[in-house]
Chains A and B, each alone.
Chain A
Amino acid sequence: MEIPRHWRLKQQRYSLVGEVCPHCDYKIFPPRDVCPNCGSEAKEMYPFNGKGEVYSYTTIYEAPSGYDANAPYTVAIVKLEEGPMITAQLTDVDNADVQIGMPVEMVTRKMRNDGDERGLIVYGYKFRPRLTVH
């Protein structure tokens, strides 16, 4: 059971909280305290709005251990509206309907089970097709 490791990442997993660089305004996800754009210290919290689009994707049929409950599922690199890209599963969508450029929005879903009834359930962000287009 890996509780501390996942617990430390609650803000990122449930609320998409990253950082914004006070020097160059670059939006950073996940937080890393050093701005990857300008190299200065960046410790200011920044909540992403959860909107983005599909940069690329593929469907996984043979899942790694713990993820088979969901298989086949589609994983994507999503470009968030504020700039950074993240890796995420897509949800509430037919695998066949996914397209590059599809507008998506963040939701909180079950990532995996640790199997046994006393195991940890890991929750985190997934992305679904945007219900209304802004």
Chain B
Amino acid sequence: MTDVVIAGIGQTKVGELWDISLRDLAFDAIQDAVKDSGGLKPQALFIGNMLAPNLSNQAHLGALIADYAGLAGIEAMTLEAAGASGGAALRQGYLAIASGMLDVALVVGVEKFTDKIGPDVDTALATTSDSDFEAVQGMTPTAQAALLMRRYMHEYQVPRDGFAGFALTAHANGVSNPYAMFRKAIKLETYTKAEMVNEPLNLFDVAPNADGAAALVLTRRELIPTNFAHSLVKISGSASASDTLALHDRKDVLYFETAQLSAGRAMKQAGITLNQINFFEYHDMFSIYAALQLEAVGLAIKGQGWKLAADNEIALKGKIPCATMGGLKARGFAGGATGVYQAVEAAAQLRGPAGTNQIAGAKYGLIQSLGGPASTAVSHILQKLD
């Protein structure tokens, strides 16, 4: 199989972007990525998006965005896997190049949360859960995370602010990321005094919904010109796994098996072991998910994932730096764009220089996006090529 490399990266700021439409957002990211690639011409467009049909009354994004970006004629489609849509689009782009069937693929993640406001957004988000047996009961993804967090704290005797470290690290890292929604560090006091959203989950345990778009140009290593402007980043591992959609159907509600399976397969493909991972861009839509991902991937024993945050091991100088550019918590939850933001940030990290957030000597990054409570997980290993 051929080496798949990231030739171009692009991203918009993440935030409540009232002035920018869905198609303009995608186009901005695309322009930046194509320019960054040195003008490579994509033959296919793979889009990661969760909720446009619901929030913007707009489905069929493939044709729309290809047309709007001046790429009409190329093959174009959307990949949907709830919060892992961006990861799924990346996987599809990877498969297209790795198989040798395409030379250049454009992967775009885009989400416009602010096209609706209020309870309609909660209803839209609930479509990512089991409609007949979870959503109908008035369950929301945030409430699900809250009851998971409650059970976890009950089983493992986690102190009241045991999860604070996730928000503290994310916000500290967001300071130097010009694209992040939140760019101010927070104190422990801010976390402990924060308002409850769904007990025991507080305001700082949830990544806020936001608009954003990120894009990547993928190609074969041989097609990169010798005087290429950037260090090369290869996608060495790519995998996805699914579990029961409904959280209540899990064999073990507190174990994210998809995180384990997808990360494991990606690492096996890349030919590396866990201790070679230099940083982890996890799906910290909720702090409890970050803890559970750390455990399932194998970086912490079951029930101890929260300690990696409490002991600062996930900080830039820690044992396993996570959310190096702010994660979902400081970047903002840009829905289906998340998986692509993770790849763009990891690529920037590996290419260097990544400014204040640089992990010295980083060679391998693990990125993982989740759909629902890890009903889907998509993992990629990005590697810096010498």
Contact = CB atoms under 8 A, between A and B. Distances in A.
Interface stretch (B146-154, B178-186, B306-314): B146-154
Contacts of B222: none
Interface of B: 119-120, 122-123, 126, 130, 132-140, 143, 146-148, 150-151, 154, 198-201, 244, 246-249, 253
A41 interface: no
14 contacts: A55-B253, A56-B148, A58-B143, A58-B199, A58-B200, A70-B138, A75-B143, A77-B247, A77-B253, A84-B248, A86-B133, A87-B248, A88-B137, A89-B138
A101 to B, nearest CB: 9
A132 interface: no
Contact of A58 (B132, B150, B154): B150
Given A77-B253, A112-B138, A66 B132 contact: no
A55 B151 CA distance: 7
Given A56-B147, A57-B150, A59-B199, A124 B136 contact: yes
Contact of B134 (A73, A87, A122): A87
Contacts of A56: 147-148, 150-151, 154
Contacts, number: 91
A77 B151 CA distance: 10
A79 B301 CA distance: 25
A4 interface: no
Given A56-B151, A58-B198, A30 B133 contact: yes
Contact of B123 (A59, A64, A77, A88): A64
Interface residues of A, number: 35
A112 B131 CA distance: 14
Most B CB within 10 A of own CB, among A36, A60, A70, A124:
A60
B94 to A, nearest CB: 31
B289 to A, nearest CB: 15
Interface of A: 5, 9, 12, 30, 36, 55-68, 70, 73, 75-77, 84-89, 100, 111-112, 122, 124
A62 B138 CA distance: 10
Tell me whether chain B's interface is mostly helix, strand or loop, or mixed.
Answer: helix
Given A64-B126, A65-B122, A87-B133, A36 B151 contact: no
B140 A60 contact: yes
A72 to B, nearest CB: 10
A2 B253 CA distance: 31
A100 B199 CA distance: 13
B318 to A, nearest CB: 30
A88 B126 CA distance: 14
A59 B138 contact: no
Given A63-B122, A64-B119, A65-B122, A75 B138 contact: yes
Q: Which 3 residue pairs of A and B lie closest in terms of their CB atoms, listed nearest first?
A: A56-B151, A58-B146, A64-B122
A132 B98 CA distance: 62
Given A30-B132, A65-B122, A87-B248, 16 more contacts: A5-B132, A12-B133, A56-B150, A57-B147, A63-B122, A73-B138, A77-B147, A77-B248, A85-B248, A85-B249, A85-B253, A86-B248, A87-B130, A87-B246, A112-B136, A124-B137
A67 B132 CA distance: 15
